[in-house]
Amino acid sequence: MSPAWPGARAVLRLGGLTLLLLLLLLCPQAARGDCGLPPDIPNAQPDLEGLTSFPEQSIITYICDPGFIKIPGRTDSVICLNGNRWSNITEFCNRSCNVPPTLLYASLKKPYNQQNYFPLGSIVEYECRLGYRREHSLSGKITCLQNFMWSEPDEFCKRKPCPNPGEIENGHINITTDILYGSSITFSCNTGYELVGETSSYCVLVGKTLVWSDPLPECKEIVHVTPTPQKPTTVNVPGTVVSSASQKPATVKAPATQSQAVPQETTPFQTRSPTKGKETLPVGASTIVSGLVAVTIIIGSLILVRIFWDYGKSG
Ligand SMILES: *[C@@H]1O[C@H](CO)[C@@H](O)[C@H](O)[C@H]1NC(C)=O
Ligand SMILES: *[C@@H]1O[C@H](CO)[C@@H](O)[C@H](O)[C@H]1NC(C)=O
Ligand SMILES: *[C@@H]1O[C@H](CO)[C@@H](O)[C@H](O)[C@H]1NC(C)=O
């Protein structure tokens, strides 16, 4: 038992020292006082951060209850003064409408676009966005109502029109609904014409101006295209050569002289001089013919020589 006593004594001594230290630590605070719990504020709760003791200079901030918003310019915190009282604070939370709705055609005017406190009866004003113009017979304002909802806004800004799209030669512009900001128009061509370009365009905003997104297309006369032959079907028929072998489509109404003016565009298979086509044989063919004639003459002569030779021998 005895060996335990010195240890117990040491523990006691240590405990006493700790107590003394604690007292020393607490004494100056006790001297500075304690403000106690901060005052109750309507529609707000103090953020105590789990503390129960609030010495001098302690600052407590309140948070507004849900549905309530801090009134701008009013304080939302208290400070412990002289260690015995909290600084003055007045009610600073009030019921408020939400931030006003975002409208497609209008934006909130200053300073409403920088606020979040809109008590009952608040009135805010909008201004038209680019591409829209004000309809002066309608109100551009909304009110925070009794139920803390905003009054329904009128459509007090109307879409501005794009410039007149004009006309397409040999074609048609189909205005689907109107030519106002955001709408589209479509293009088509009359029969016998083909559309070159875009088939539709939109009324869009470029900078502050409404313009058509795409230029008008062109309606070009459809040309009769004769299929380009894989092999030449007619070689020696002048006149038809060009229209059947021309790489570029030739129009039916094109005059013959015009057709003949483009012999360079005939395929290599075609004769290059259609005007002389019928009278002229190809170089190769005439050579063969001359050769055949020569051979025939030589063979004939030889036969004749042999006949005369045989006749002379027998006679
Ligand atoms: C707090 O308000 C009371 C009463 O309105 C006033 O007498 C006192 O001076 C104010 N104290 C401070 C610190 O503003
Ligand atoms: C709260 O808002 C209402 C309506 O605007 C106003 O009459 C009242 O004074 C406000 N309350 C406070 C504490 O400011
Ligand atoms: C215009 O467009 C609408 C909808 O695409 C279509 O029903 C109508 O037939 C078109 N009108 C003309 C003239 O092309």
Domain stop point among 40, 60, 95? 95
Note the pLDDT tens digit of each residue in 161-204.
999 999 999 999 999 999 999 999 999 999 999 999 999 999 99
Taking CA atoms only, the protein residue closest to ligand 1 atom 10 is: 88
DSSP E strands in the chain: the ranges are 44-46, 59-64, 68-70, 77-81, 85-86, 93-95, 106-108, 123-128, 132-134, 141-143, 157-159, 171-175, 184-189, 193-196, 200-206, 209-212, 218-221
Note the pLDDT tens digit of each residue in 226-256.
766 565 544 444 644 333 333 444 433 443 3
> What's the rounded Cα separation, in Å, for the pair 173 and 186?
6
Is residue 226 domain-resident?
A: no
Q: Looking at this protein, which amino acid is placed at residue 75?
A: T
pLDDT for position 299: 75
Q: Give the three-class secondary structure for 137.
A: coil
CA 86 / ligand 1 centre spacing (Å):
10
Ligand 3 neighbours, Cβ below 6 Å, are 172, 174, 176, 188
CA 12 to chain centre: 80
CA 173 / ligand 3 centre spacing (Å):
9
State mean pLDDT over 40-49. Answer: 95
**What's 210's domain CATH number?**
2.10.70.10
Domain that holds residue 129: 106-159
> What's the rounded Cα separation, in Å, for the pair 160 and 259?
54
Is residue 126 domain-resident?
A: yes
Domain stop point among 46, 61, 95? 95
Report in angstroms the alpha-carbon separations of 256 from 91, 229, 271, 272. Answer: 100, 20, 17, 16
CA 310 / ligand 2 centre spacing (Å):
150
If phi over 0 gives left and psi between -120 and 50 gives alpha, with beta otherwise, what is residue 227?
beta
Ligand 2 neighbours, Cβ below 6 Å, are 71, 91, 94, 119-121
Residue 75 CB less than 6 A away from ligand 1? no
- Per DSSP, what are the bridge partners of residue 218? 196
Q: Kindly state whether residues 37 and 59 are assigned to the same domain.
A: yes
Q: Kindly state whether residues 91 and 110 are assigned to the same domain.
A: no
* Parallel, antiparallel or unpaired: strands 106-108 and 132-134: unpaired
Which ligand 1 atom minimizes the distance to the CA of 87? 13
Is residue 100 domain-resident?
A: no
| Burial class of residue 270, CB neighbours in 10 A (0-12, 13-18, 19+) | buried
CA 130 / ligand 3 centre spacing (Å):
30
Q: Looking at this protein, which amino acid is placed at residue 176?
A: T
CA 27 / ligand 1 centre spacing (Å):
29
pLDDT tier at 301, thresholds 50, 70, 90? confident
Domain stop point among 137, 159, 181? 159
State mean pLDDT over 41-52. Answer: 94
Residue 262 has pLDDT above 90, yes or no: no
Residue 35 has pLDDT above 70, yes or no: yes
Q: Find all residues with CB under 8 Å of 18, minimum gap 6, and list them.
A: none
Q: Kindly state whether residues 89 and 39 are assigned to the same domain.
A: yes
Q: Kindly state whether residues 35 and 78 are assigned to the same domain.
A: yes
CA 211 / ligand 3 centre spacing (Å):
22
pLDDT for position 312: 62
CA 75 / ligand 1 centre spacing (Å):
14
Q: Which two tokens stand for residue 58?
A: 């302690």
CA 206 / ligand 1 centre spacing (Å):
59
Is residue 237 domain-resident?
A: no
Taking CA atoms only, the protein residue closest to ligand 1 atom 12 is: 88
Taking CA atoms only, the protein residue closest to ligand 2 atom 2 is: 119
pLDDT for position 314: 56
76 contacts 44 by C-beta, under 8 angstroms: yes
- Per DSSP, what are the bridge partners of residue 201? 185
Taking CA atoms only, the protein residue closest to ligand 3 atom 11 is: 174
Q: Kindly state whether residues 84 and 45 are assigned to the same domain.
A: yes
- Ligand 1: residue of 88, 90, 91 to mutate (most ligand atoms within 8 A of CB) is 88
CA 189 / ligand 3 centre spacing (Å):
12
Is residue 78 domain-resident?
A: yes
Indicate the average pLDDT of the chain.
78
Question: Could you say which ligand is closest to the alpha carbon of residue 89?
Answer: 1
Note the pLDDT tens digit of each residue in 87-142.
999 999 999 999 999 999 999 999 999 999 999 999 999 999 999 999 999 999 99
Q: Count how many domains the chain has.
A: 3
Q: Looking at this protein, which amino acid is placed at residue 286?
A: S
pLDDT for position 40: 96
Is residue 187 domain-resident?
A: yes
Residue 310 has pLDDT above 50, yes or no: yes
Which ligand 2 atom minimizes the distance to the CA of 92? 13
Count CB-CB contacts under 10 A for residue 62. 22
pLDDT for position 300: 74
Is residue 12 domain-resident?
A: no
Is residue 136 domain-resident?
A: yes
Running DSSP on this structure, what letter comes out for residue 199? S
Better-scored residue on pLDDT, 29 or 161: 161
Residue 88 CB less than 6 A away from ligand 1? yes
